Structure 1
Amino acid sequence: MRVRHRRQQPEKNSPATTKRKHSSISEQSREDDTKAKKRTLAHRRKETITLQPDPYPTLNCSNKFEPIRCCSSSFRGHKGLKKKKSRPIDGFRQWVFSSRDFSYRKDKVVVASYNILGVENASKHPDLYFNVPPKFLEWDTRKHLICKEMNHYTANVLCFQEVDRFQDLDDLLQKDGFRGVFKGRTGEACDGCAIFWKDKLFTLLYQENIEFRSFGLRDNVAQLCILEMNQEQSESELCLQVPKKSHTQSRSILVGNIHVLFNPNRGDIKLGQVRLFLQKAYKLSEEWGNIPVILAGDLNSIPQSAIYQFVVSSELDIRLHDRRKISGQIECPPRFNHLRSENINAACSWKSASRPWIYRWSNEEIRLATGSEGATHVRHQLKLHSAYLGIPGSSRTRDNHGEPLATSYHSKFMGTVDYIWHTEDLVPVRVLETLSMDVLRKSRGLPCEKWGSDHLALVCELAFADDISSQT
């Protein structure tokens, strides 16, 4: 057919022939364009699936959480950090990196703080979880979710609160190379705190527990552990017979874990527990050669509250605060939680710093809060920094100061009460973003099919400051 067509040269410029040829070419072009678009769309769909795999294919949450897009401004101007952009870890949460280049760091620790929701506490407070299907509250399901999540974040030090099934967690985490210690609350409660660490990376040198009951501060407890990093000389150092630097011979850290009393009306006891925890941590760090300190836990106090400010500034005048509002933890309806933390605080009318009122404290309340009768100020000697404040994040997940907007969500509360603090000899390298308010609301309450607790785990990676200063 093509040969005949070419031989009909006299007719090639005729109007009818030209019209038929143009029509044929146009139809062919449209068909080619359609096929190309289909191939492009199919390729894009394939890329999307490849770039965002689901690490838990059997645990897909029915609530379609959308990925959080964190600020990228902190990565501008750093050529060496092109590969260290915020990226999804599990389809819903992302790592956010420091703007500084820590690629040369040698010693690091990845710490997680997680209130895992005690089994007994969940069963005794059904009003907090009436929107949660019962199957998501079952411990046999939640314990596997919790352990898988921790391994997914490659955390090597875990600080858990509300632990009342320690043996179950210990059995599961031992298979992943963890060892742990547990301290149960005094009194009738059966939950407590637990610290786990990767056995190949750390050695437990010393453990100390705080029973607050011994100081008249209720039945809560705290843990303090000295962990030594296990390090071996590199092959190059062995061949050259170069001695290791003194600071790498024995890298030790103090890890503290606490769950502060919930009762908002007993701010004197809450403050007393935090005060004693910080005092003990400072003393122990000093006894072991001023080693770096990492403190984690559920403080049952919201950002910028008086207790929070005490941790940050190392001092607090209790006369300026109402003990019933000193933690700022007032149950606000979840509909108010779309506001930034400062507005939430104002709406709940807890902050008194702007008004120089002097509140009345009984002698017993003063003694519990400050540790001595007649004192009006409470102080501690640690210089602590919040890990999340050290790395800017998304405005969808952080308040104006940089703390997460919410680390806990149930029917009566949506806000932040969990923290990871560190001393100046440690520097945050990256932190794991939490979830936005909109994403949390879509879940209608935690735990859910994806998350095993009514809290969100806080995770950060910390590097030793002397490693950093030696390279700058």
Structure 2
Amino acid sequence: MDFTVMSYNILAQDLLEANQELYTHCPLEVLDWTYRCSLLLEEIVQVGSRCYTCVYKRRTGTKTDGCATCYRSSCFSELSVTPLEFFRSETELLDRHNVGIVLLLQPVVTRGSEVKAKGPPLCVANTHLLFNPRRGDVKLAQLAIILAELDSVVKSCKAKGEHCNLILCGDFNSIPHMPLYQLITTGELYFQGLPAFMISGQEDLSYKTYVHRLYAPLWPSCLGITDNCQYTTVKEKSESQSQKSRFRHTIRHRLDLESVYKHILPGSGNAEVTTLHSEMGATVDYIFYTPRRIHFTADHAAVDFVSEGLKLIGSLSLLSEDVLWSMRGLPNDIFPSDHLSLLAKFQLDLNAA
């Protein structure tokens, strides 16, 4: 079964209007919501039909934007949906109102009204992490929350004998190969003493005489998440209350995730960018996925090969910063947001169910 994933920060209109200094290079007509909305819908419909089922989570607090995940109900059945709120009133660290969505789907192949085949579960997570370049500690804690939920979903599927494929996408407000990206793609990050601004790499503050550095523990035990980015068990909660638990200098996760994009344009060698406004151009948006792996088991009679994960068939090319500036930057009369859409096509092995 082939399916397509689009990840798109469409630029909330009230945020555009609240930060107009970022768009002084744009003609006023391309900033108009009616104009932008029609272009956004046209771009989305090019990928598929209008027949989507949508899950939406508005940001907590006073902001009106949020995250939405939309899927074709003719191709996927919804098993569960978990809206995530990163704001925690009990901890000063998580005082920001970002959100996410974790959606568990089952791929289905139908002929008419009859279900012909069902695939292994597919977990699609969508988020928009904090922007503030100086608060890498907050970004890591927010990321840990969504990784812990993904880990929980994978475990529950494994308990039923099912392999769960993962897609994690959104605006992570972090550039490629910096510590936050490294944690996602390698499953490990040694953070002790790292400057907080370095976590995302959005801004170089090394010239300052004092910078905030990260030390263990990164977040308080009341968050209920370990340094393995997993929800704490009853035993771990008990140890935490008796102060026997230790938060190491390295945070880890056990999810196998890889980026669809390689962040360098083939041929030219120029850097890809996913966002551009008057202050900067950078890659901050991603589609991460569990790549296809071949496992084998052997006994005295035979060797069995098992294919798990998603096969990446292709992706829509991104553009370089100089090309976008030649089009008068973003948004413009072709691209209606200050972010480009990311698009990837995957193949799923239904036999792996």
TM-score, normalization by structure 1: 0.59
Residue of structure 2 aligned with 1:441, choices 301, 325, 329: 325
Q: Where does residue 100 of structure 2 map in the other structure?
A: 222
Q: Deviations over 1:240-297 (max 9, x none)?
A: xxx97xxx43443110001000001111000111122112112112213331011100
Residue of structure 2 aligned with 1:304, choices 163, 171, 177: 177
Q: Where does residue 281 of structure 1 map in the other structure?
A: 150
Secondary structure at 2:199 match in 1: coil
Once the two structures are superposed, the pairs formed by residues 146-157 of structure 1 within 5 Å of their partners are 146-154=40-48
Unaligned runs of 5+ in 2: 207-211, 228-245, 292-308
**C-alpha RMSD of matched pairs (Å):** 2.9
Q: Quote the Cα distance in structure 2 between the aligned partners of 1:388 and 1:314.
A: 18
Q: Quote the Cα distance in structure 2 between the aligned partners of 1:384 and 1:363.
A: 25
Q: 1:416 to 1:397 in 2, by over 3 A?
A: farther
Q: 1:465 to 1:388 in 2, by over 3 A?
A: farther
Secondary structure at 2:37 match in 1: helix
Letter paired with 1:184: R
Q: Where does residue 118 of structure 1 map in the other structure?
A: 12
Q: 1:181 to 1:398 in 2, by over 3 A?
A: farther
- Contact in 2 for aligned 1:396/1:436 (Cα 8 Å): no
Residue of structure 2 aligned with 1:381, choices 232, 235, 254: 254
The structure whose residues are more often helix, as a share, is: 1
Q: 1:307 to 1:152 in 2, by over 3 A?
A: same
Q: Where does residue 426 of structure 1 map in the other structure?
A: 310
Once the two structures are superposed, the pairs formed by residues 199-348 of structure 1 within 5 Å of their partners are 199-214=73-88, 216=91, 217=94, 218-232=96-110, 248-288=117-157, 289-330=162-203, 348=204
Q: 1:201 to 1:249 in 2, by over 3 A?
A: closer
Secondary structure at 1:109 match in 2: strand
Letter paired with 2:70: F
Instruction: Confirm whether residue 133 of structure 1 aligns to residue 42 of structure 2.
Output: no
Secondary structure at 2:109 match in 1: coil
Q: Where does residue 94 of structure 1 map in the other structure?
A: none
Q: Where does residue 462 of structure 1 map in the other structure?
A: 346
- Contact in 2 for aligned 1:207/1:225 (Cα 8 Å): yes
Q: CA deviation at 1:382?
A: 0.3
Letter paired with 2:107: M
Secondary structure at 2:79 match in 1: strand
Q: CA deviation at 1:453?
A: 0.4
Q: How many residues align?
A: 302
Q: 1:182 to 1:193 in 2, by over 3 A?
A: same
Q: Quote the Cα distance in structure 2 between the aligned partners of 1:127 and 1:181.
A: 32
Greater alpha carbon shift after TM alignment, 127-136 vs 223-232 = 223-232
Q: Quote the Cα distance in structure 2 between the aligned partners of 1:182 and 1:376.
A: 36
Q: Where does residue 92 of structure 1 map in the other structure?
A: none
Q: Deviations over 1:307-363 (max 9, x none)?
A: 010111111111152112210012xxxxxxxxxxxxxxxxx577xxxxxxxx84366
Q: CA deviation at 1:392?
A: 8.6
Q: Quote the Cα distance in structure 1 between the aligned partners of 2:106 and 2:74.
A: 11
- Contact in 2 for aligned 1:310/1:316 (Cα 8 Å): yes
Unaligned runs of 5+ in 1: 1-106, 155-174, 331-347, 351-358, 400-404
- Contact in 1 for aligned 2:274/2:284 (Cα 8 Å): yes
Q: Quote the Cα distance in structure 2 between the aligned partners of 1:447 and 1:226.
A: 33
Secondary structure at 1:146 match in 2: helix
Q: Please identify the structure whose Cα radius of gyration is greater.
A: 1
Q: Where does residue 304 of structure 2 map in the other structure?
A: none
- Contact in 1 for aligned 2:192/2:215 (Cα 8 Å): no
- Contact in 2 for aligned 1:279/1:381 (Cα 8 Å): no
Moved over 6 A (4+): none
Q: Quote the Cα distance in structure 2 between the aligned partners of 1:320 and 1:364.
A: 12
Once the two structures are superposed, the pairs formed by residues 169-188 of structure 1 within 5 Å of their partners are 176-188=50-62
Letter paired with 1:130: T
Q: Quote the Cα distance in structure 2 between the aligned partners of 1:397 and 1:431.
A: 17
Q: Where does residue 394 of structure 1 map in the other structure?
A: 266
TM-score, normalization by structure 2: 0.78
